[in-house]
Amino acid sequence: MPGSTTSRPRGLLAARRRSPLLRLVALAAGLASLTFLAALAPAAGGEASGVTSAGALQDGCRRCKGRGVKDCPKHDDIDRDFEGRVLFCSVAAGCEDCGGTLVIDCDRCDGGPESAAAEERRAAITAWMERSEVAKHFERNVPRCETDHFELVLDVAGKFKVGRKKIDGHRLMHLVADDTSFVAAGVAEHFEVKPEEDYFAKMRMWMWPTSKDHVEAVRAFMNTSARGDFKLLGRDPVFSVWQEPGLFATAQGIRTVFTHNASHMLVSNLLRELDISPHGGGWLDAGLGHWHEYARFDRSVQYCIEEASALDNFSNGVWRAAIRKMCERAASKGRTLLPSLFNKTTTSMTAPEQAICWSFYDWLVAEHPSALRPILMGLKQKTDARELLKEHLGMGLLKAEEAWREWVSDTYPKKEKTR
Ligand SMILES: [Zn+2]
Ligand SMILES: [Zn+2]
Ligand SMILES: [Zn+2]
Ligand SMILES: [Zn+2]
Give the distance (Å) from ligand 1 centre to CA of residue 110. Answer: 7
Q: Which ligand ends up closest to the CA of 256?
A: 4
Domain boundaries, the chain: 10-131, 143-274, 276-307+315-419
CATH superfamily of the 143-274 domain:
Collagenase ColT, N-terminal domain (3.40.30.160)
Give the distance (Å) from ligand 3 centre to CA of residue 121. Answer: 13
Among 165, 147, 145, CA closest to 155:
145
User: For residues 412 and 321, is the Cβ–Cβ distance under 8 A?
Assistant: yes
User: For residues 412 and 404, is the Cβ–Cβ distance under 8 A?
Assistant: no
Quote the pLDDT of residue 227: 82
Q: How far apart are CA 265 and CA 270, in angstroms?
A: 9
- Phi-psi label, residue 166: left if phi above 0, alpha if psi -120 to 50, beta otherwise: beta
Quote the pLDDT of residue 247: 79
Quote the pLDDT of residue 246: 72
Give the distance (Å) from ligand 4 centre to CA of residue 166. Answer: 28
Question: 413 burial class (0-12, 13-18, 19+ CB within 10 angstroms)?
Answer: exposed
Give the distance (Å) from ligand 2 centre to CA of residue 272. Answer: 32
Q: How far apart are CA 37 and CA 16, in angstroms?
A: 15
User: Looking at this protein, which amino acid is placed at residue 378?
Assistant: G
Give the distance (Å) from ligand 4 centre to CA of residue 400. Answer: 23
User: For residues 58 and 64, is the Cβ–Cβ distance under 8 A?
Assistant: no
Q: Which ligand ends up closest to the CA of 118?
A: 3
Based on its alpha-carbon atoms, the radius of gyration of the chain, rounded to whole angstroms, reads 27
Quote the pLDDT of residue 3: 33
Give the distance (Å) from ligand 4 centre to CA of residue 264. Answer: 7
Give, for all 419 residues of the chain, the pLDDT tens digit.
333 333 333 233 333 333 333 333 333 333 333 333 333 343 443 444 434 344 445 899 999 999 999 999 999 999 999 999 999 999 999 999 999 999 999 999 999 999 999 999 999 999 999 999 999 999 999 999 999 999 999 999 899 999 999 999 999 999 999 999 999 999 999 999 998 899 999 999 999 999 999 999 999 999 898 888 899 999 999 999 999 777 788 999 999 999 999 999 999 999 999 999 999 999 999 999 999 999 999 999 999 987 766 667 899 999 999 999 999 999 999 999 999 999 999 999 999 999 999 999 999 999 999 999 999 999 999 999 999 999 999 999 999 999 999 999 999 999 998 76
